[in-house]
Amino acid sequence: MARQVLLFIWFLSLSSALGQVSYSIPEEMSKGSLVGNIAQDLGLDVKRLKSGKARIYTGDSAEYIELNKDRGVLLIKERIDRETLCGQTTPCALHLQIIVENPMELYSVTVEVTDVNDHLPSFKRDEMRFRISESAVTGAVFALERAMDLDVGINGLQTYSLKPTDNFALKLQTQPDGSKIVEMVLQKQLDREKKEHLSLVLTAIDGGNPQLSGTAQIHITVLDANDNAPVFTQKIYKATIVENALRGTVLTTVSASDMDEGSYGKIKYLITNTIDAVPELFEINEENGEVRVTGIIDYEKAQHYQIHVQATDDGGLTDSSKIDVDVRDINDNKPLINIISKLSTISEQFGSGTVVTMINVQDPDAGENGKIHCTINENIPFTLTSTNTNFFSLVTDGDLDRERDSQYNISVICADEGVPSLSSSITLTLQISDVNDNAPVFEKSSYEAFVQENNTPGLSIFTVRARDADFNQNARVSYILEDSSVYGVPVSSLVSVSADSGVIHAVRSFDYEQIKDFHFRVKAQDGGSPPLSSNVSVKITIQDQNDNAPQVLYPVQSGGSVVAEIVPRSADMGYLVTKVVAVDVDSGQNAWLSYKLQKATDRALFEVGLQNGEIRTVRQVTDKDAVKQRLTVVVEDNGQPSRSATVNVNVAVADSFPEVISEFTDFTHDKEYNDNLTFYLVLALAVVSFLFIVSIIAILSVKCYRWRRDQMFYKNGANLPVIPYYPPLYADVGGTGTLQHVYNYDVCRTTDSRKSDLKFVRPSSESIISLDTSGTQAITHAQNKKLISEDFDDQQKPPSADWRFTQNQRPGPSGAAATPEVAMGTGPWPNPPTEAEQLQALMAAANEVSEATNTLTPGTMGLSTRYSPQFTLQHVPDYRQNVYIPGSTATLTANPQQPQQALPPSQASPVESEPPKAAQTPASKKKSAKKEKK
């Protein structure tokens, strides 16, 4: 016994180390009784039982044991009756599995239920009757009915007792399976005549503490002599039958013989089993001993049966035998699949080896019919492993990708190895939960869109789209415009992108002439945590519209000057007059320009090139052609609708420049009006007002300055000649042919040499030379009146045209002909006269005055004469002024018909410098006559 206890303790420790725990409890324990501390015995923490949702799995068995997760102990849930649970099977044990999740773990628990002596030994029949002949010999054996005790082991049936023992003794025979055959042996011959009926008490006793017992009455009727008892041919019969055999199937046939004759030799057969289901499954023919099947034979309920048969003759003598029946299994049960624990959803981030489902498969068949193998469908990242007998785990066998497969329907097929094989299957549905492991992907690697210029702000240009293979929030894509600059301005001021739809809108109107294309990047970001993103390059190309008219670069149009192209009269047909140069800031066909002659003074003389804008003569130029030719050229682009611009070209048909000047002095220019006329008028008014105020201030300043200077000269007694310098008229025609305005200068003179008062006259007015040699002579009233009249006439006359010069007639620095550089417009401006030139001018003026005074008569008080020096365009005076002669009251003024010349050139003779004569006044004629006489 001590050895068995040590072995049991060693088995418990070994089982615990292997993840298996065994307990032993007596039957009939009350509810809530403690079975064992499973947490301590398995080495688990109570918190682990709670977090892992530990539970007991018993399959289809009744749940007798429950798990208290708060205490970590096993408790009795239902009262356990060992006899109901296991019958006569020993040992009797409950097999449990404890399932713990997160991660999944399986522990086996075996609870052995020990027997309690809670059942009395009992007989199926309370009475047994025998008819025994008085002639029965001593030692005759009579089989008795065995008692039944549901307890096992020491609590089971142990022995019998028979009382009284006057004629009969009790004989017990132990069978190899441990059961006992109870027989009653005749010890003392019966005597019917003494006692015809005997009553005995058979007591069955178990080994429990206290002992329990059951009794049965044996009634014996003493018969007349029957000398021979029936004898079976075999003490033990062997038979085999397959389960599910049809009712009526013959199992076997038993036989017995009796040497007696008559009624004592007639035998009847009887099945004597009382404590099992044999009477319901089998029957025997009492006449011939044929045993047949009357019930359903199920291998899964019982694999072996013992049928006890008895043969009895009419004399009451009996014999007994038994039939050992082996039940042969057939494959009549499919594997039963039970899901112990499963996950309905698993994240795609879990790797290989993750337990998804645990199943238990049971097949009550035996041998090959009960061997099970399970498979799952192929080409899925899962595998089925066996963790224990008939326990399987479905685990991941590769990486999961929700974007590849968001759901798996896993078919588990379990089949036995019987012939034919039976199988069963279940389908497990497993959802793969999403992880944000995919960034949005644009449909294109880059985008390019086109938009017409002058678009309306807010115009939808095009749409970018990105797809995210993830699910739900992880696949919700938002579009963001990345910060960048385009030509120094933020790209957000040009375009915007809709965060939800990816539609790109124009923020403002585009101008092709400012921006032809630009690039930016759009980022697509999902709603995961953390978010993933990708970006794409977008190019916006602005398409041109014909929104700009051509612009004429040459010839330049100016409202204040006239541009003229000179065509010699000797020009032949095809002579290139000029070329109209125009540009259009548009592009493509919108910038293709064509030139057309809209108006012309003589359409038969000129033509314009359609593509190049060259203006050429169509025919030979003749003398009959007008000098002034005005052409209007239209420059038109090729847009739809087309835009155009016009330019006026002035052409002079002449062989010499003076002819051009004389013809174009009164050439009028067309005024061009633009759309912003009001603005320019206001601007011009403001500028003119400003210049007027500045001019008034400048004139006052000059007046004041001159007055102060004259005052200083008068006080200091300066007798120097007054020779103010005025720069000559300079007309810059340059290469443009623009004829500049004529500048007219006022000439000042003194009315008295002893006074500083100045008298302003116009340069083209008639000047008077007043000579007062004595200093006391006075001008007569008539002379004074004439002087005033002539002075007034001078002021009313228009400016002389002789002051206008051609390009090759610019004055030199000393009144001589201009140098070639100056004549061509490339030389410097004229320089003021030097001191030597001023002295030479004074001497020449004195000689002229002395000649004039010699012609005066002695009695004359005063004489007015006109001084008209001759000049050509090669001898232009450098300046015009009144010359004051020291020591004289005479003042030299210029001829009103000619520009003044204070210093006539000494190099030129009068004959060489004689210009074409103009109409002379009487004064000039008189002076000329006097010179000729002299």
Q: Kind and range of the H or E element at 3?
A: helix 2-17
- Contacting residues for 327 by C-beta, under 8 A, at least 6 apart: 240, 241, 242, 243, 297, 299, 302, 303, 304, 305
User: In this model, does residue 610 exceed pLDDT 80?
Assistant: yes
How far is 899 from 920, CA to CA, in rounded Å? 14
Written as six digits, the tokens of 45 are: 């923490």
pLDDT tier, 413 (very low <50, low <70, confident <90, very high otherwise):
very high
Q: Which of 635, 628, 636, 650 is nearest to 580 (CA)?
A: 635
Q: How confident is the model at residue 222 (pLDDT cuts 50, 70, 90)?
A: confident
Longest CA pairwise span in the chain (Å): 235
Distance CA 609, CA 580 (A): 9
SS3 content of the chain, % helix, strand, coil (to 5): 15, 35, 50
Structure tokens belonging to residue 651: 């052409």
Give the Cα separation of 422 and 413 in Å (integer).
Answer: 10
Q: Which helix (H) or strand (E) holds 695?
A: helix 677-715
State the average pLDDT over residues 258-281.
Answer: 85
The dihedrals phi and psi of 118, each to the nearest 5 degrees, come to -115, 10
Alpha-carbon distance of 401 to 408, in angstroms, equals 11
> Is residue 87 a contact partner of residue 106, using CB atoms and an 8 Å limit?
no
Cα–Cα distance measured from residue 421 to residue 372, given in angstroms and rounded to the nearest whole number: 10
**Closest residue by Cα to residue 95 from 62, 128, 46:** 62
Model pTM?
0.50
Quick one: tokens of 815?
């009144």
- Per-residue confidence (pLDDT) for residue 313, from 0 to 100: 87
Identify the residue whose tokens are 């039957």: 27
| Number of other residues whose CB lies within 10 A of the CB of residue 662 | 15
Contact between 510 and 468 (Cβ < 8 Å) = no
pLDDT tens, residue by residue, 847-875: 544 444 444 333 333 333 333 333 333 33
Give tens-digit pLDDT for 303-312.
Answer: 899 999 999 9
Q: What is the pLDDT of residue 782?
A: 41
Distance in angstroms (rounded) separating the CA atoms of residues 501 and 65: 61
Q: For 636-655, write each residue's pLDDT tens digit.
A: 999 888 999 999 998 888 88
What's the mean pLDDT in 773-782?
Answer: 37
Of 516-530, 563-577, 605-619, 880-894, the one with minimum mean pLDDT is 880-894
Count Cα neighbours of 280 within 13 Å in the Cβ-side half-sphere: 5
Burial class of residue 261 in the structure, from the number of CB atoms within 10 Å of its CB (0-12 exposed, 13-18 middle, 19+ buried): exposed
Q: Which of 41, 47, 94, 43 is nearest to 66 (CA)?
A: 94
| Pairing between β-strand 441-442 and β-strand 355-362 as defined by DSSP bridges | unpaired
Q: State residue 562's pLDDT score.
A: 58
Torsion of CA 884, 886, 891, 893, to 10 degrees: -40
The answer to whether 112 and 24 have CB atoms below 8 angstroms apart is: yes
Residue 902 has pLDDT above 60, yes or no: no
Reported residue count of the chain is 934
CA separation for the pair 467, 475 (Å, rounded)? 8
- For residue 640, is it left (φ>0), alpha (ψ between -120 and 50) or beta? beta
How confident is residue 2, by pLDDT bands cut at 50, 70 and 90?
very low
At residue 713 the predicted structure's pLDDT band, cuts being 50, 70 and 90, is: low
| Pairing between β-strand 250-253 and β-strand 168-174 as defined by DSSP bridges | unpaired
Q: Which of 543-547, 631-635, 785-789, 886-890 has the highest mean pLDDT?
A: 631-635
The residue among 900 and 415 whose pLDDT is bigger is 415
Q: Give CA 819 to chain center in angstroms.
A: 78
pLDDT in the model for residue 30: 92
**CA 75 – CA 96 distance, rounded (Å):** 13
- In this prediction, residue 819 carries a pLDDT of 35
Alpha carbon distance 369, 329 (integer Å): 8
User: DSSP readout, 911-934?
Assistant: TTTPPPP-PPPHHHHHHHHHHHH-
pLDDT, one tens digit per residue, over 614-625 is 999 999 988 888
Q: What is the DSSP letter of 457?
A: T
Q: The tokens of 730 are what? A: 């300079």
For 786, the 3-state DSSP assignment is: helix
Comparing CA positions, the residue from 808, 804, 802 lying closest to residue 826 is: 808
- Of the chain, the percentage scoring pLDDT greater than 90 comes to 36
Q: Do residues 36 and 65 lie in contact, with contact meaning Cβ atoms separated by under 8 Å?
A: no
Instruction: Give the mean pLDDT of 333-362.
Output: 91
Residues 106-118: what's their mean pLDDT?
90
How does the average pLDDT of the chain come out, rounded?
75
Residue 624 and residue 257: Cα distance in Å, rounded? 175
Bond preceding residue 555 cis, omega within 30 of 0:
yes
Instruction: Answer for the pair 609, 576: CB distance below 8 angstroms, yes or no.
Output: no
**Average confidence (pLDDT) over 492-509:** 94
